[in-house]
Amino acid sequence: MKNILPLTLLIVAGELIFSLPFHVSRFFRPSLLEDYSYSNMELGIAFSIYGVTALLSYMPGGYIADKISPKYLLFASLLLTSIGGIFFMTNPSINDLYFLFGYWGITTILFFWAALIKATQFVAGSNQGISFGALEAGRGLVASITASIAVIIYSNNSFIEFISKVMSKNVSPISTVIFLYSFFTFFSSLTILFFFRDTNVKFKNKKKYNFKDIYNNKKPILCISIIVLSAYTCYKAIDYYSLYFYEVLKYSKEQSAFLMTVFSYARPISALLAGYIADKISPSKCTKFLFLFLLLSYLVLAALNVNNQLIYILYVNLIISMLGVFALRGIFYSLLKDANIPSLITGIAVGIVSFIGYMPDIYIGPIAGYLLESYNIIIGFKVFFVFLFLISAFGLATSIYLKKNI
């Protein structure tokens, strides 16, 4: 019971820090593109820049997480990220947007990510599957609740007028949403500063590891890295589902944002259930089955033509793909324990896994942007789903190999 508060604070912080770079475009992509006059390709490049700076931050972030307590690392990350949100409100030029996303790649990763994973591992106890499932489930619930509030605010003219008075200028609905996420992120930084206790986390290692410890665990670390890369590629693809609803299924911008918000409530349920099952049958076995489900759903989405008779099959497979991705995110870090990675090198192992696993932050934006702008939008999405099918097959093959070798 004593760990409920620190775990809750970690859950909230772990989602809100990514709300500005990711939630705005995930739930409100059509509005962001239209109101700020960005193209899919330009936004994709911004995410690639984020990915590069984030990638360069994972390894040193893992080292820092093994040396410094989490409280001040998490606080500083959240505060600096929220400050970037205020700048985002001003409808920055495309070059300024690129700078902002590069800045966020540092603030959300360098002092934050490995510290979050390691803190969760210590705080949550011995049941790693359910613990990381709870982390992802809680983060998903935070994302859904904040998105629900944002959708309401987005359609509320009175609140938009209030923010316009505060800023002494007319602001667009999307700028109001960005303000809301900035406030939430800033508030989370204060909760970490005042309520997170370092005494709840035995964070500093008394022993020192050497690179031989890492080398001796190179195979499982590499396998887990590839599994995370495959799962995270599919997760990043969900950012384009609101555009799919808008451009292919012909929903309005408001309806697209609403649908994404409703579907996002599947994330906490899926992650928590996956964590529970993973503790019963092992995370590696659970991962294998989840990639199989993803592979089949993407195959159907790529092959299916949009028409009224088959529309329900399309919806079912969109939901299955999201459930599978959310479930994978809920358990893939529990593979570290499943593969017997020593706790002594957890921080640096997380750094290595994240360095490889989150490479989709670099390539998914340009790939999706190219496909959706170079082809008819329907054909572009079909090719995109074929790409995701191949990535899922890669993840499935790696999961099978890992299961046989641990």
pLDDT band at 198 (very low <50, low <70, confident <90, very high): low
Beta strand ranges found along 27-82 (DSSP E): none
Dihedral over alpha carbons 33, 34, 37, 40 (to 10 degrees): 30
Return the DSSP state at 375: S
- Both structure tokens of 242: 């609101």
Phi, psi of 17 (to 5 degrees): -65, -25
Q: Under a CB-based contact definition with an 8 Å cutoff, are residues 263 and 319 in contact?
A: yes
Q: For Cα atoms 287, 362, 400, give the angle at the middle one, nearest 5 degrees.
A: 20
- Both structure tokens of 221: 């670390």
d(CA 269, CA 279): 16
Among 249, 239, 169, 279, which residue's Cα sits nearest to residue 22? 239
* Inter-CA distances, 15 with 128, 147, 166, 223, 290, Å: 19, 12, 27, 26, 23
d(CA 215, CA 198): 31
How confident is the model at residue 197, as a pLDDT?
76
Q: Which residue has the higher pLDDT, 121 or 44?
A: 44
Q: Under a CB-based contact definition with an 8 Å cutoff, are residues 227 and 398 in contact?
A: yes
Q: Under a CB-based contact definition with an 8 Å cutoff, are residues 260 and 245 in contact?
A: yes
pLDDT band at 203 (very low <50, low <70, confident <90, very high): very low
pLDDT digits (tens, 9 = 90+) for 137-156: 888 889 889 988 998 888 77
pLDDT band at 187 (very low <50, low <70, confident <90, very high): very high
Q: Under a CB-based contact definition with an 8 Å cutoff, are residues 25 and 36 in contact?
A: no
Mean pLDDT of 298-313: 84
Is the pLDDT reported for residue 96 higher than 80?
Answer: yes
Q: Domains in the chain, please, with CATH?
A: 4-197+212-404 (1.20.1250.20)
d(CA 351, CA 397): 23
Q: Which residue has the higher pLDDT, 343 or 137?
A: 137
Residue 165: other Cβ atoms inside 10 A: 10
Contacts of residue 290, Cβ cutoff 8 Å, sequence gap at least 6: 274, 324, 327, 328
Is the pLDDT reported for residue 348 higher than 50?
Answer: yes
- Both structure tokens of 194: 């005042």
Mean pLDDT of 45-67: 86
Return the DSSP state at 207: S
- Both structure tokens of 219: 């195979």
Return the DSSP state at 344: G
How confident is the model at residue 200, as a pLDDT?
43
Which secondary-structure segment (H or E) carries 401?
A: helix 377-404
How confident is the model at residue 332, as a pLDDT?
84
Is the pLDDT reported for residue 107 higher than 70?
Answer: yes
Whose tokens are 């984020």? That residue is 50
pLDDT band at 41 (very low <50, low <70, confident <90, very high): confident
End-to-end Cα, the chain, rounded Å: 33
Mean pLDDT of 302-315: 82
- Chain centroid to Cα 122, Å, comes to 22
Lowest mean pLDDT segment, chosen from 48-57, 159-168, 244-253, 317-326: 159-168
- Both structure tokens of 335: 């593979």
* Inter-CA distances, 276 with 100, 130, 270, 273, Å: 38, 5, 10, 5
- Both structure tokens of 340: 């017997």
Is the pLDDT reported for residue 232 higher than 80?
Answer: yes
Q: Where are the alpha helices (DSSP H) in 156-252?
A: 157-167, 173-195, 211-215, 218-237, 241-247
How confident is the model at residue 128, as a pLDDT?
56
- Chain centroid to Cα 71, Å, comes to 21
Residue 155: other Cβ atoms inside 10 A: 13
pLDDT digits (tens, 9 = 90+) for 238-282: 989 988 998 888 888 888 888 888 888 888 888 888 888 888 888
d(CA 275, CA 287): 11
Q: Under a CB-based contact definition with an 8 Å cutoff, are residues 27 and 242 in contact?
A: yes
Residue 112: exposed, middle, or buried by beta-carbon count in 10 A (0-12, 13-18, 19+)?
A: buried
- Both structure tokens of 38: 């960005």
Q: Which residue has the higher pLDDT, 268 or 128?
A: 268
- Both structure tokens of 327: 């479930």
Mean pLDDT of 283-290: 92
Highest mean pLDDT among 60-74, 203-217, 238-252, 304-318: 238-252
Lowest mean pLDDT segment, chosen from 63-72, 96-105, 287-296: 63-72
Lowest mean pLDDT segment, chosen from 15-29, 68-82, 230-244, 332-346: 332-346
pLDDT band at 226 (very low <50, low <70, confident <90, very high): very high
How confident is the model at residue 207, as a pLDDT?
55
Mean pLDDT of 72-100: 94
How confident is the model at residue 336, as a pLDDT?
82
Mean pLDDT of 323-340: 86
- Both structure tokens of 126: 């011995």
Return the DSSP state at 201: -
